[in-house]
Every structure is written in structure tokens, then in C-alpha cells.
């Protein structure tokens, strides 16, 4: 290809699994490349993705992009499935400073098919052994954290097909002891359809891959709390 440029494309959820990589590189013309043409180039150069490309969402520089939009070398491009996983069931994702309203979350995830909702709430623990925590301060790499919440929701739907509505909410900012910091809500037709297991999976994955950190403040000082999970190529 004459005057070609290499463009790196980030992949999420089913596309990442199909490619067995978190990103792929595409050779494209340096002038007048559209999203429509980029889709064709991805399908040609990465056949494993060909069946998914047309139905996937494209973003350019953190904004949704459409077939007639231009793509340039140096753009930050991502390819991912619709956040709801192609279903009509509700999905609510948020990285927010706002307080978590539990009744609203329950209403957001409940459909007319549902007879059960499982809600996990993480709170600021005041006493750990001999240590006392006065408050936590959460910060996030927000754009990436939002994308990873979407990935967690996709994984939950894939692993627990009985789940209907999903809500994943992570708070950031200052929170005193006893304050809710994170919520996972799942709805199902019946309590045995996987909502308990999906909620547990969801919070575990949030703790592993969503880019949020916390600083713990105690009477004798403060420190950042770091996890011990090392991301893998499948994350």
C-alpha cells in the first residue's frame, strides 16, 4: 500500500477475545480514510475480526465515530461491542462523585421479567484489626475506568446469561467511614438464575481491572492502597 500509515486500534470484550489481543495494528492510506473504509481494512488484515467488525462500535479520540467520519494517523481508535452486549436489557455504568442511591439502582436494573435483584454495596470500613480509618479518597483514570466497567458488564452477560439488568457504579472523591463507595446490581427472573454469582463476579472484576485507586487516611497518617492483581493480556 503506497503512502500507508500504521494505526493502532484498541479492542474490548468479544473483539479482544476473538483477536486474542488488546489491540491490533492496521495499515491504511495516509489520506482520506473513513470509518467505513477502516472497517473493511480491519476485516481484510485481521480475518478473525471480520464477522464482528460491521456490528461493532468505533470511537475516535474518545468520541463515538460513524461510517463517514475521517480517520487519521495518530488518532486514538477503539473498537468494541455495544455496551449492552446486543441485548435490550438495561445497563447502567458510572464513575461518579455522587452518592449511590440504592432504590434508584434497583429500579434501573429491574425489567418486567424480573422477580429478583441482587445488590452488592462496598463501604468504607472504619476498623481493620488494630487500625482505624477516618476516610478514603478515591481517584480514577476516568476514561479508561469507564471502558473497563463496560468490559466487566460484557463479561458478566457472557458468563451469566440469566442476568437481565446490570448496574456498576464506582464513586470517586472523599468518603468517610461507613459511606458506600461501589455498587453492583443484577436482576434475574428468579433468584437461582445467576444474579448472586454475577454480582460477586462483577465486584471481583471491578477490583481487578477498573482503574480506580484509594488513599486511606488514619489518625496517624495516610497512604495509597495498592492491589496485588497483575493484568493479563486477556484483561
- pLDDT, tens only, 138-154: 888 888 888 889 999 98
Q: Using CA atoms in the order 69, 70, 76, 82, what is the torsion angle rounded to 10 degrees? A: 20
SS3 231: coil
Task: State which H helix or E strand residue 209 sits in.
Answer: helix 195-209
Which range (38-47, 166-175, 226-235) has the least confidence? 226-235
Domains and CATH numbers, the chain: 4-80 (3.10.20.30), 91-225 (3.90.1170.40)
Q: What is the model's pLDDT at position 82? A: 62
- Does the predicted TM-score (pTM) go above 0.75? no
DSSP state of 82: -
Residue 234 has pLDDT above 90, yes or no: no
Q: pLDDT tens-digit profile of 76-121?
A: 999 987 654 445 688 999 999 999 999 999 999 999 999 999 999 9
Closest CA to 198 of 120, 123, 145: 120
Average pLDDT of the residues of the chain: 88
pLDDT at 86: 44
Amino acid at each position: 500500500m503506497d503512502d500507508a500509515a500504521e494505526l493502532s486500534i484498541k479492542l474490548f470484550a468479544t473483539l479482544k477475545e476473538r483477536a486474542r489481543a488488546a489491540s491490533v495494528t492496521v495499515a491504511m492510506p495516509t489520506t482520506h480514510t473513513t470509518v467505513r473504509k477502516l472497517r473493511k481494512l480491519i476485516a481484510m488484515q485481521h480475518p478473525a475480526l471480520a464477522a464482528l467488525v460491521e456490528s461493532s462500535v468505533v470511537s475516535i479520540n474518545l468520541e463515538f465515530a460513524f461510517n463517514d467520519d475521517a480517520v487519521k494517523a495518530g488518532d486514538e481508535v477503539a473498537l468494541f461491542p455495544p455496551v449492552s452486549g446486543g441485548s435490550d436489557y438495561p445497563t447502567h455504568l458510572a464513575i461518579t462523585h455522587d452518592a449511590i442511591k440504592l432504590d434508584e439502582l434497583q429500579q434501573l436494573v429491574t425489567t418486567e421479567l424480573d422477580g429478583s435483584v441482587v445488590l452488592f454495596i462496598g463501604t468504607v470500613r472504619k476498623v481493620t484489626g488494630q487500625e482505624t480509618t477516618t476516610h478514603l479518597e478515591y481517584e480514577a483514570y476516568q476514561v479508561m475506568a469507564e471502558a473497563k466497567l463496560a468490559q466487566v458488564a460484557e463479561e458478566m452477560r457472557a458468563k451469566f446469561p440469566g442476568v437481565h439488568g446490570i448496574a456498576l457504579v464506582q464513586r470517586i472523591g472523599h468518603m468517610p467511614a461507613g459511606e458506600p463507595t461501589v455498587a453492583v446490581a443484577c436482576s434475574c427472573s428468579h433468584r437461582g438464575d445467576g444474579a448472586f454469582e454475577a454480582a460477586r463476579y462483577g465486584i471481583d472484576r471491578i477490583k481487578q481491572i477498573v482503574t480506580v485507586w484509594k488513599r486511606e487516611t488514619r489518625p496517624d497518617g495516610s497512604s495509597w492502597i495498592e492491589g496485588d492483581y497483575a493484568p493479563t493480556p486477556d484483561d
